[in-house]
Chains A and B, each alone.
Chain A
Amino acid sequence: METATAEWVSIRPLSAVTIRARFATLPFALLLMLGAVGLLVGSSQAGAQASSGEHTARTVLVLYSDNRLLTANTVFDASLRQTLRSHVGEPIDCFSEFLDEVHFPAFHQERMRDLLRAKYADRPPAAIITFAPPSLDFCLRYRSELFPDAPIVFAAVEAHTSATGALGPRVTGVRSSFDGPATLRLALRLHPDTQHVFVVDEPSRADLTSRWEDFRESESSPRFHHLDARPLQQLLEALAQLPDESLVLYLGPFAAETGRRVTPQEIAQRMAAVSRAPIYATSDAFVGHGVVGTVTTPMDAIGRETAELVGQVLGRERVDPIPPVRTLATAPIFDWQQMRRWDVRENQLPAGSILLFKPPSLWQQHSRLVLAASGLFLLQSGLILALVLQSVRRRRAEREALQRRQELAHTTRVATMGELTASLAHEINQPLAAILSNTQAAQRLLATGNTNGDEIREILADIVADDQRAGEVIRRMRTLLRRGESEPTILDVNDLAVEVVGLVRSELILQNVDPVLDLSPTPLRVHGDRVQLQQVLLNLVINALDAMKETSNGDRKLRVRTAAMDDRLVRVSVEDTGVGLPADSIDRVFERFVTTKPHGIGLGLAICSSIIQAHGGRVGAENNADRGATFWFNLPAVDAEAKR
């Protein structure tokens, strides 16, 4: 026999000890305790009433027909107590008792009656709630002996039971339905191809299956079969071998299986695990335990309505008549997970269906979190986008700056070459003249026949050499006139000096300048852009030539010198015998728009300076001791870098 359990319907304020116990582990326990102290102080009057109400709190007795493990009982109990708490404006002590009548002989009920009478003698119940017909029968049978003054509120009694006349005074209750036919009708509609319906029930109620066989809705009605609920193992094996197009209607057991203490929900769960057909039941207690659905009065609704009725009964204790019996409607109840398993779609369900266990969408579940995360994500994306845009813009600006620098360098190169036009034309016209003369000489020799092969061969060799020379001049020119950057390479500044002086050779002749190449005996390697470095040296040489315009013919000397400063630096210098630099502008000649030439714009040396700086070097200028000036630039030596 089940031990009677009593639970406080916690209408009374919680004691400080309870609060402390509940929050003791939390770090803000102290804070809460302070709050609790405030609560206690604030409600001291209510507390005083409660402590005296320990004797005045009325008792409500709930009498269940079965044992405590039955799901329907627990669902009902939870719903009942919750509604009592919120609907009854006074402290109530609510006790549950279990008749467990199916497992014990009938004579045991008298003992139960005596036990209850003795147990509650000191605190007679203000109302008795019965759950399911057996406990109602029990109460009605012993009405005169068992608290005859207490009103009875029954629950879980079938609506079609017509025994209302026999209830007697001060008895009311809630009628509900486990609507088997409606459940089956709905199941057949959802599974229209069903050929077989297997009714699972207590073996003792096998005869009831015939009731289901009467169920006819159309000509194509399925065949009905009975499956014994016990033994369980046999039932599970049967379910695993069901034919196609089957349906299972689970009617029981509602009570736990004795001995092995398996609850009905566990049975339903194990059935659903192996069953080849969808399982429908007539109680919502199984929804959530493998059953697809049912049409019934929801158990929590029964609990709620009963509690409300109890509230009314307690409220009008001394006033008859007692509130009338309520009849509750049924509703289809479905398990969303099982619907998915058996391919039942949501839009097939009748209107007003209760759909349980449908996982709430992320939005429903965590709308704030989703909002916050989305906001954060958007914010972050925006930030990233802004950073990317900024980076793109900066890179574009850098690219544009570099491009402009290169264009400026190119423009000044073109201008420089423009100054050399006469010289370059001379350099190209010389070999062209030689080629033409040689060719025409050969033509004449051949025409007169006054020649031998050797001479012609010589002439042709000279033509080839001259042609190559002209091509080389054009190649150097094109290199300098080319736009954009060339590939940085390792180059010898001695070669650089030879190339540049070669390029201005004619210019030197035209201007009666005597060039001296004072080159280092060993190669001086630097890492750099050949075109840009040529441009720098060319610029310095042309400046030197310009500076010597006023110098008398015999004194025009240009010295291009390359030397290793130490093992880390290479210096290239251009020395002239020109007018020299004005003392006040020596330090400023490499600035933009500073010029000492009458028609200069002051960009050449500024660009030289930026090119050399980009190569990790330095430019400089100084006046010579005797006459003229020396311009130089230093570059890091490559060999030194290799050593590091």
Chain B
Amino acid sequence: MSTHTVFVVDDESSVRKSLERLLRAAGYHVESFASADEFLRGEPEERIGCLVLDVKMPDLDGLELQQVLAEADRCLPIVFITGHGDIPTSVRAMKAGAVDFLAKPFDADDLLAAIERALEAAGNQASKRAERAEIERRLAALTPREQEVLRHVITGQLNKQIAADLGTSEKTIKVHRGRAMRKMQVQSVAELVRLCEKVGIHGP
């Protein structure tokens, strides 16, 4: 079992308590909150995990929290649970990226399966994010001129063409290109292109 954290947000204490028990018994690390506000306040660090979220709560409800998190680009897959599920609400939740939408009372197996999927998604997202961060870090090491050259390189231009575009000598471009390739830790232009796609860097 992973050591990822499952966050439970439900205003109903008995439900919260039972879920904590169940999830701990299933081997998860669980943190629970009585309201969306409490969750937002109590979760400063960005840990990898998923959210088991009640739809209807006083003040900020589940769907609203989902929106807040999305806006904050917080990567936290959500499993919704609800005492009275209606179709419009579930559709809205799923469209906004929820992993699952479970009506209370739900079977533990269903919940745990959903959580597994959510954590898997969370793991994927986390590794992607880590990869992206590494690329960004490498990119950050490039000088502005090297970055400029890099954008031209990934479009498949030859050194001569780049030199013409940038109004400099072919030789200079070759030096910048070599440094950029080294700093980006790639051996081939194809590899560089893949990395740049991952962080959304396109040609000029």
Does A486 reach chain B (CB closer than 8 Å)? no
Nearest first, the 6 closest Cβ-Cβ pairs linking A and B are: A433-B104, A426-B83, A437-B18, A440-B108, A441-B22, A441-B21
Q: A440, B14: Cβ atoms under 8 Å?
A: no
Which residues in A have their C-beta under 8 angstroms from that of B14? 430-431, 434, 462, 465-466, 469
The answer to whether residues A459 and B21 also contact, given A426-B56, A426-B83, A437-B15 and a CB cut-off of 8 A, is yes
The answer for the CA separation of A469 and B15 in the assembled complex, in Å, is 13
Cβ of A234 to closest chain B Cβ, rounded Å: 119
Q: Which residue in B12, B25, B111 is a CB contact (below 8 Å) of A430?
A: B12
Does B163 reach chain A (CB closer than 8 Å)? no
Q: Interface size bucket, A side?
A: 20 to 34
Cβ of B181 to closest chain A Cβ, rounded Å: 53
Q: Which residues of chain B in 10-42 are interfacial with respect to chain A, using CB atoms and an 8 Å cutoff? A: 11-12, 14-15, 17-19, 21-22, 24-26
Most buried by B among A434, A436, A510: A434
Does B144 reach chain A (CB closer than 8 Å)? no
Q: A509, B57: Cβ atoms under 8 Å?
A: yes
The answer for the CA separation of A435 and B106 in the assembled complex, in Å, is 10
Q: Mark B163-175, 1 if CB is under 8 A from A, else 0.
A: 0000000000000
Q: B18, A422: Cβ atoms under 8 Å?
A: no
Does A376 reach chain B (CB closer than 8 Å)? no
Q: Interface size bucket, B side?
A: 20 to 34
The answer to whether residues A437 and B22 also contact, given A430-B14, A462-B14, A509-B56 and a CB cut-off of 8 A, is yes
Q: B57, A426: Cβ atoms under 8 Å?
A: no
The answer for the CA separation of A459 and B25 in the assembled complex, in Å, is 12
Chain A interface, >50% SS class: helix
| Subset of 13 A-B contacts with CB under 8 Å | A430-B15, A431-B14, A433-B81, A433-B83, A437-B105, A441-B22, A442-B21, A444-B22, A444-B26, A445-B21, A506-B83, A509-B11, A510-B56
Q: Mark B108-151, 1 if CB is under 8 A from A, else 0.
A: 10010000000000000000000000000000000000000000
Q: B18, A425: Cβ atoms under 8 Å?
A: no
Q: A434, B22: Cβ atoms under 8 Å?
A: no
Cβ of A1 to closest chain B Cβ, rounded Å: 131
Which residues in A have their C-beta under 8 angstroms from that of B21? 437-438, 441-442, 445, 455, 459
Cβ of B115 to closest chain A Cβ, rounded Å: 13
Which residues in A have their C-beta under 8 angstroms from that of B108? 436-437, 440-441, 444
Which residues in B have their C-beta under 8 angstroms from that of A435? 18, 105
The answer for the CA separation of A44 and B78 in the assembled complex, in Å, is 137
Cβ of B36 to closest chain A Cβ, rounded Å: 13
Does B200 reach chain A (CB closer than 8 Å)? no
The answer for the CA separation of A499 and B25 in the assembled complex, in Å, is 36
Cβ of A545 to closest chain B Cβ, rounded Å: 15
